[in-house]
Amino acid sequence: MPWSMFRESFEAMTRRRLTVGFVCFCLMLLVGTAAFAQDEPSMAPEQNQGAQLFSSHCAYCHGADGRGGRAPAIATLPKVVGLSNQDLIGIVHKGEADQGMPAFPDLGDQGTKAVVQYLRTLQGVTANGPPAKLAGDPDMGRKMFFGKAQCSTCHMILGKGGFMAAELTSYARNRTASEIMQAIVNPDAELQPTSRVVSVRAKDGKSLTGVVRTEDNLNITLQTEDGRYHFLSRSNLAVVNYTDHSLMPPDYGTRLTAKELDDLVAFLIVTGRNAPAEPAPPKSRWHHDD
Amino acid sequence: MAMRTGRKSVVGFAAFVMMLTVVALQGQPAKNSTKAWVESSASGDALQQGTALGQIDVQQSELLQKTIKNNWVSYNGDYTGRRYSSLAEVTPQNVSHLAAKWVFHTRNAGVLEVTPVVVAGVMFITGSNDAYALDARTGALLWHHARGVTSGLVDDASGHINRGVAVLGTRVYMETDNAHLLCLDARSGNLIWDVAYADNTQSYGATSAPLIVKNKVLVGTSGGDDGVRGFVAAYDAQTGKEAWRFWTIPAPGEKGSETWPAGNAYLLGGGTAWMPGTYDPELNTIYWGTSNPAPDFDGSVRPGDNLYTSSLVALDPDTGKLKWYFQFNPHDLYDYDSVQTPVLVDATFKGKRRKLIVTANRNGFLYILDRTTGKYLYSKQFMKRMNWAKGIDKNGRPISNHLIPDAKGVLVCPGFAGATNWYSPSYDPQTNMFYFRSFEGCDVLMAKQEPFKPGRPYYSTGSRTPPGDVANDSYINAFDLTNLDFAWRDKQIGGRQAWAGVMTTAGGLVAFGNNANEFEMDDARTGKPLWAFKLGQPMHASPMSYAIAGKQYFAVAAGDDVFAFALP
């Protein structure tokens, strides 16, 4: 575990017996790190803990996405979004007896903070405060996505579009406008290994170009634009050329105007905000069935 | 969300490896237009491993195929549910050389219950709301559609079990623990649509695999022990619009409602369809089993036969209308679900070639029905120490011993785990034998009237293991349809109770998960154990077989992992 992270959180603990706090903290980091090591969306350990605590303590009444059910929609109600973090911590800790909400003192300081932080992600509030005002027009952005910009040729969003590239419905949920803009105009800056275009030439002279989806020392699997997977053995290949790019055109920065780009970003952000929240990943246990 | 492996550490490491590779090779200049990026040329032998390998586009003709060979296109492999593969490369003579080829590890909440589907060399599996596409030859991950599990679910759905996918065209369909039907793009895992088909806050959930029939996706729910009204529903495979819904408990005034008391009992009646059914295209009929009635064990609040719980219903797949039904357990008091696969068998019965259904029921009897009319033809008791019924009368109705669970508790054999359960049976047309796993466990069942509480199981009772009744025997059975008797019954040794089903092959083998955490193959004719591989994990799933470029593979899930096997 990173020493700096450990020290920072250690200093944040107040009014807790040091030994209990220390043990709990180490366990949480271990749990968080173990969970992080599994194949799941990239979340900081504290966020993962917050998601799990929310799922086990809050979701039954407030909904897995905080949008209500038996209890109010704490993810969207303006008066709840407008409360300070301290207010929220207090509510979790003491409950709201007259509203029928129990107290959760068992979460402890660390757990309460984590669950409040997770609620903030459901609310779309970043560490810097409520969501920034959008520069562009999301409706124009939608038209761009499916029209002039041709994003939907490869990307799917809200169930419509292509299959060659990543699904974008919840893409913008935890990303800033500038991050999204960068990803559009500079797509190869952070090239995912499963998005890279690779050209191969077999020993018999035939060639193929596709996106590498999985590979190891012996095999490489490319997907071509018709969706077909080509399972190739390296021993049959004379040349394997890894390009430095994905399928995404690198010239959106010049092809689209600044307004058009802002509109696209706005469309992605609004779509991401409205996308259903991710419930917690599964906890392992055995089960008999029906 | 669909990911093609999203771990930051993997990204970092792979990028590093890629950098080294790029440095070692000469790069090509980038192209400008989108279309020019990817060229799909006519590849030579080195680049093609068979017609359309890796191209997922499942046609109706594929779903309707009478033989299972390269592809295993649904939960049971084909519409008959007999799990008989026509692949014959692996035989009793060479099976000793069968070897593990790969293992795929899933993130999962419990023990996997999936049967993999394989199409064009791509394997689809599910677990705890996630779907994965793998290279079926190597186990390499092609895509992963990740979806978190739902909290606050009741009973079986809270285990986040998932039995697998259905495929049609370029789409993959699956149920989620909270009774949503998902339609995913098969080439990417991207979500096309998501339809909630039951309300999980009303104790519904789902644990099954959907079944595609023509242009519709058929689904059911869990919750038969939790006070729900069961149903089979059909959704348009293209749009996700609901096409029909067959409620397994008739509403007041409908035919069959006279088998329930008046009032709202029908809304809590159970009868869920929590396993995939089978389909006969010539008769245009789907066959679906239903669960026990609710509340379990306490029949006093639901006098009557309680149609159509613990039954087999034959429906019109275009409309969902009931054609006929056969009830295995009228007014069930012992949690004897009847969702076990209704296997479609064409065989000679008492001198005449007939269209049959052969099924081993949870109640300890094996049944043969005529599947054109639902007529009861035959039954055989397969549980050795049964006490709940004397037998089955000439109409197929149990001759009950009237054991009524009460506050003190009554010993009932089979117990609520059943003399068999959902794990797959198989029919082998070469041996003309019906294979299935059985269990000799009993339970002391207790009942006391309890009101229904929403969000809680509706068991109205409890159960306990009979004192001294510890190690109960399990069997793998082969019932010979030629002489209507058991050809062999292999008592399972190993001590680890598996909930694992069987399959058979044209090569002459029966394959199954045994009671020692092993994937085992026996001679299908004699039951002689020939080979086993220690998977080292609990087995709650049934095996399947597929082929790539002429090579036969077997795959089975155990624990959190999927294992594949082939000859060297």
Tens digits of residue pLDDT in B359-399: 999 999 999 999 999 999 999 999 999 999 999 999 999 99
Task: Out of A193, A216, A224, name the one closest to residue B18 (CB).
Answer: A193
How many CB pairs (< 8 A) connect A and B? 253
Any chain B CB within 8 A of the CB of A152? Answer: no
Domain A3-123 classified CATH 1.10.760.10? Answer: yes
Q: pLDDT of B174-185, one tens digit each?
A: 999 999 999 999
Q: Percent of chain A at pLDDT above 70?
A: 73
Q: Is the CB of residue B7 less than 8 Å away from at least one CB of chain A?
A: yes
Residue B455 confidence (pLDDT) above 80: no
Q: What is the mean pLDDT of chain B?
A: 89
**Mean pLDDT across chain A, nearest whole number?**
79
Contact A163 B190 (CB under 8 A): yes
* Residue A9 pLDDT exceeds 50: no
- The pTM is what? 0.80
DSSP string, chain A: --HHHHHHHHHH--SS-HHHHHHHHHHHHHHHHHHHHSSS----HHHHHHHHHIIIIIHHHH-TTSS-SSS--TTT-HHHHTS-HHHHHHHHHH-BGGGTBPP-GGGHHHHHHHHHHHHHHHHT-BTTBSPPPPSS-HHHHHHHHHTTT-GGGT-EETTEE-SSS---TTTTTT--HHHHHHHHHSTTTT--TTT-EEEEEETTS-EEEEEEEEE-SSEEEEE-TTS-EEEEEGGGEEEEEE-S--SS-TTHHHHS-HHHHHHHHHHHHHHHHHSPPPPPPPPP------
Report the pLDDT averaged over residues B475-489: 98
pLDDT band of residue A120 (cuts 50, 70, 90) is confident
Residues A227, B56: C-beta atoms closer than 8 Å: yes
Least confident of B114-123, B494-503, B520-529: B494-503
Window 97-116 of A: residues touching B by CB (8 A cutoff) are none
Specify the higher pLDDT residue, B461 or B420: B420
Token duo for residue B28: 């090509």
Chain B positions touching A55 (Cβ under 8 A) are 148, 151
What is d(CA B2, CA A278) in angstroms, rounded to the nearest whole number?
12
Q: What is the C-alpha to C-alpha distance for residues B331 and B265, in angstroms, rounded to an integer?
A: 13
Topology given in CATH for the domain delimited by B72-566: Methanol Dehydrogenase; Chain A (2.140.10)
Percent of chain B with pLDDT over 70: 89
Lowest mean pLDDT among A3-12, A195-204, B31-40, B242-251: B31-40
Cβ within 8 Å, pair A59-B151: yes
User: Is the reported ipTM for this assembly greater than 0.90?
Assistant: no
Chain B residues whose beta carbon lies within 8 Å of the beta carbon of residue A249: 33-34
Residues of B with catalytic function: 335
For A41, which of B6, B48, B224 is closest by C-beta distance?
Answer: B6
**Contact A11/B at CB under 8 A:** no
How do the domains of chain B map onto residue ranges? 72-566
Residue B317, helix vs strand vs coil = coil
Which of A2-16, A147-161, B482-496, B535-549 is predicted with the least confidence, judged by mean pLDDT? A2-16
In chain A, where are the structural domains located?
3-123, 138-187+250-274, 197-242
Helix, coil or strand: residue B36 = helix
Q: Do A288 and B42 touch (CB under 8 A)?
A: no
Nearest to A193 among B14, B47, B49 (CB): B14
Neighbours of A65 (CB within 10 A): 18
Measure B287 CA to nearest chain A CA, in Å. Answer: 19
Phi, psi of B343 (to 5 degrees): -80, 130
For B487: left if phi > 0, alpha if psi spans -120 to 50, otherwise beta; the answer is alpha
Q: Which of A201-205, B49-53, B196-200, B284-288 has the lowest mean pLDDT?
A: B49-53
pLDDT confidence of residue B43: 33
The shortest C-alpha distance from B151 to chain A (Å) reads: 6
Inform me whether the pLDDT recorded for B510 exceeds 60.
Answer: yes
pLDDT exceeds 60 at position A285? no
Q: Which helix (H) or strand (E) holds B306?
A: none
pLDDT exceeds cutoff 80 at B277: yes
- Taking an 8 Å cut-off on Cβ atoms, the answer to whether A191 and B190 are in contact is no
> According to the model, what pLDDT value does residue B237 have?
98
The size of chain A, in residues, is: 290
Asked if A147 is an interface residue toward chain B (Cβ–Cβ < 8 A), one would say: no
- Whether B173 has a pLDDT exceeding 60, the answer reads yes
Residue A33 pLDDT grade (very low, low, confident, very high; cuts 50, 70, 90): very low
Same fold, A3-123 and A197-242: no
Residues composing chain B: 568
Determine the pLDDT at residue A31.
Answer: 46
Question: Tell me, what's the pLDDT at A17?
Answer: 53
Q: How confident is the model at residue B427 (pLDDT cuts 50, 70, 90)?
A: very high
Of the candidate ranges B242-246, B452-456, B483-487, B492-496, the one whose mean pLDDT is the lowest: B452-456
Give B4's pLDDT tier (boundaries 50, 70, 90).
low
Residue pLDDT, tens place only, B399-421: 999 999 988 899 999 998 999 99
Best mutation target, B37, B56, B199, to test chain A (most A CBs within 10 A)? B37
Q: What is the pLDDT of residue B159?
A: 80
Contact B225 A290 (CB under 8 A): yes
A180 touches chain B (CB under 8 A): no
pLDDT given at position B18: 53
What pLDDT is recorded for position A3?
43
Cβ of A240 and B188 within 8 Å? no
What residues are paired with A170 via a beta bridge? none
Q: What's the pLDDT band for A124 if we cut at 50, 70, 90?
A: low
Lowest mean pLDDT, pick from A150-164, A216-230, B28-42: B28-42
CATH 2.30.30.100 is held by the domain A197-242? yes
pLDDT tens for each residue of B300-324: 999 999 999 999 999 999 999 999 9
**What pLDDT was estimated at residue B7?**
45
Q: Does B456 touch chain A (CB under 8 A)?
A: no
Over pLDDT 90: what percentage of chain B?
76
- The matching CATH number, chosen from 1.10.760.10, 1.10.3720.10, 3.30.70.2740, 1.10.240.10, for A138-187+250-274 is 1.10.760.10
Give A68 to chain B, closest Cα distance, Å: 12
